[in-house]
Amino acid sequence: MGTVGTTQTAKGGRARNIAAGAIGMTLVGGSVSVSHVLTSAPLFTAQAIRYTAAAGILVALAKRSGVRLQRPRGREWLWLCGIAAFGLVLFNVAVVRGVAHAEPAAIAVAVACVPVVLGVAGPLMERRSPSHRVLIAAVAVTAGSALVEGTGHTDGVGVAWAAVALVCEAAFTLLAVPVLPRHGAWGVSVHSVWIGALMLAVLGLATEGPRAAARLTAVDWAAMGYLAVMVTAVAFLLWYSTVAALGAGLVGLLTGIAPISAAVAGVVIDGRVPSLPVWCGVLVVLGGLSTGLSTRLSARLSGGGGAREGAPMDAPENISREAVVEQAARSS
């Protein structure tokens, strides 16, 4: 009875972690229409204000929740600055510069390749071998996301910026792996956000001038407020909590929820009815998620003769990757 109860508890914790990551990606995908409001606003200034507000919110929530934030030390500064520089600052630049040479769908399709990148690089950073099951699911999620987003025309420069956007999106998760054990989701979120805000403020002052904030409209401020609270403070915490619990490779699959959320937001806000390829893409994404996140399927694939798929590189032969993931979930 005790073993059954422990297993059920582990499954419940795993389900909660997956739900947290899914909600975070839903918030990110649903924010596309909100972010579109800021296309005419001074980019660096608007984003600097957004992340500054988010940092303040995160610090206040951490204090209220009794969370003690650790001061970064040594190489941790490099990882956290990398998250801010690549995952926040350069990613925004790549998207804005990319859409000047490519249709937004082309950039989105490139970013949709993130599950495959995380499926390979994430486990390697965590000293595990990539899981064949997760990689197959990642390819399905990427293909489905491409169907949801559609295709778009681009030129060589657009392709280059799309590649940069892909690298930056993957870096947002991968660079957090070394610092999550000591800082947790709260620490990584707070430090990466305030560092990103500082970088963006410097860029804003240098390129847009000190009076750029005066050009922001009431609608811009409302959009920035929503992005600061829901898409930065809340979504960052949910996402990094899931990465810490389940690993970068597995949670990369959840990025496929973002384009579905964006499509649903388009229906609600603009009344656009998705076309047949979009519906097909949604089904493919859901199939990939089911394949990659299914505990039963994982147990079947990791049992029997070739059972070491995705197992830690230095783990005993009889320990499957899923057992390690569930043990991590219980420990968290």
Average pLDDT, the chain: 80
Domain contains 251: yes
CA distances from 267 to 74, 99, 271, 274, 314 (A): 47, 23, 4, 8, 48
Question: Per-residue confidence at 320, pLDDT binned at 50, 70, 90?
Answer: very low
| Per-residue model confidence (pLDDT) at position 68 | 93
Q: Which residues contact 73 (CB under 8 A, 6 or more apart)?
A: none
Backbone angles phi, psi at 320, to 5 degrees: -85, 165
| Per-residue model confidence (pLDDT) at position 59 | 96
Over residues 305-331, mean pLDDT: 36
The domain containing residue 56 runs over which residues?
16-127+153-255
Domain contains 295: no
| Per-residue model confidence (pLDDT) at position 82 | 97
Angle 43-64/180-207 helices, nearest 10 degrees? 150
Of residues 145 and 218, the one with the higher pLDDT is 218
Domain contains 3: no
Over residues 304-312, mean pLDDT: 40
Q: How many domains does the chain have?
A: 1
Torsion of CA 254, 257, 258, 261, to 10 degrees: -160
> For 115-129, 142-156, 244-258, which range has the lowest pLDDT when averaged over its residues?
142-156
Residue 21 has pLDDT above 60, yes or no: yes
Domain contains 88: yes
CB atoms near residue 280 (< 10 Å): 15
The tens digit of pLDDT for each residue in 273-301 reads 667 777 888 888 888 888 888 755 444 44
Domain contains 275: no
Question: Per-residue confidence at 106, pLDDT binned at 50, 70, 90?
Answer: low
Question: Per-residue confidence at 103, pLDDT binned at 50, 70, 90?
Answer: low
CA dist 320 and 206 (Å) reads 52
Domain contains 86: yes
Residue 247 has pLDDT above 60, yes or no: yes
* 3-state secondary structure (DSSP) of residue 40: helix
| Per-residue model confidence (pLDDT) at position 207 | 94
Domain contains 292: no
Domain contains 29: yes
Question: Per-residue confidence at 102, pLDDT binned at 50, 70, 90?
Answer: low
> For 30-39, 167-176, 247-256, 308-317, which range has the lowest pLDDT when averaged over its residues?
308-317
Is 142:209 a contact under the CB 8 Å cutoff?
no
